[in-house]
Amino acid sequence: MSTAATTYHQRVAQEKRALIVGAATALFLELGYDRTSLARIAAESGVSRATLFKQFPTKAALFDAIVTESWASDDEEDPPPVGDVVAGLGAIGRRYAELLARPQMTDLFRIVIAELPRFPELAHAQFSQGKLPYFESVRSYLLAEHEAGTVQVEDADLAATQFLGMISNYVFWPALLVPDWEVSDDRVDQVVEGAVRTIVARYGASGTRRSALD
């Protein structure tokens, strides 16, 4: 098979996958996870059952894909370089805010919350495949800055939780309860900057604190 033909088939497969994931997300929200069948998802996405089952043999596999795609970064950026914790945390914070602002992220959390009593495995998938890997990347970055001497972080788990929590508590969680909750780009910048300054004030080495807070 030629390269052009292979590329074409890969593009078609990716387009069908996106249709399936989008239809599944909408149906899970409308009908619930339990009441949504793979056959219904195939019909709503406009693909054959064979195509759907080839990519997603179970609803659990399909939900895992929703989690993965919701948390995936568009450009898969590398961690910020170590040495400038203010710039590094700023980049991480803006990336996190962009992830949380995606409509599919709100949809994902609503599905998990609604189905938690009957399907706790959905919450486990959301945490272990989505939230935890991102959290670990922030934790690892803080540990690297600790080794570089820019911050003094004895409990990286706590510091990462505090940083991400300051952003999500304003940018994301109200959107689950207030349908028209919107945060402007300028406000996001203010929230991220405030979170960075708070972390640096608490954990920054003396030189880092002075340069960040002057």
- Do 129 and 85 lie in one domain? The reply is yes
Query: What is the average pLDDT score of the chain?
Result: 89
pTM for the predicted model, two decimal places:
0.83
For residue 13, what are the domain limits? 3-57
Residue 42: CATH number of its domain:
1.10.10.60
Q: In this predicted structure, what is the pLDDT of residue 102?
A: 87
CA dist., res. 148 & res. 7, Å (int): 44
- Do 95 and 153 lie in one domain? The reply is yes
Pair 93, 188: CB distance under 8 Å = no
- Do 208 and 155 lie in one domain? The reply is yes
Q: How many other β-carbons are positioned within 10 Å of the β-carbon of residue 47? A: 19
Q: Does some domain include residue 31? A: yes
- Do 93 and 154 lie in one domain? The reply is yes
- Do 179 and 84 lie in one domain? The reply is yes
Q: Does some domain include residue 91? A: yes
pLDDT in tens, 97-139: 999 988 888 889 999 999 999 999 999 999 988 888 889 999 9
CA dist., res. 13 & res. 32, Å (int): 26
Instruction: Reduce the secondary structure of 145-185 to three states and give it as a string.
Output: HHHHCCECCCCHHHHHHHHHHHHHHHHCHHHHHCCCCCCCH
pLDDT in tens, 142-185: 999 999 999 999 999 999 999 999 999 999 999 888 878 889 99
Evaluate if residue 9 carries a pLDDT over 80. Answer: no
Provide the CA 13 distance to its chain's centre, in angstroms.
24
Q: Does some domain include residue 63? A: no
Identify which of 73-87, 103-117, 185-199 has the greatest average pLDDT.
185-199
Q: Which two tokens stand for residue 142?
A: 């803080």
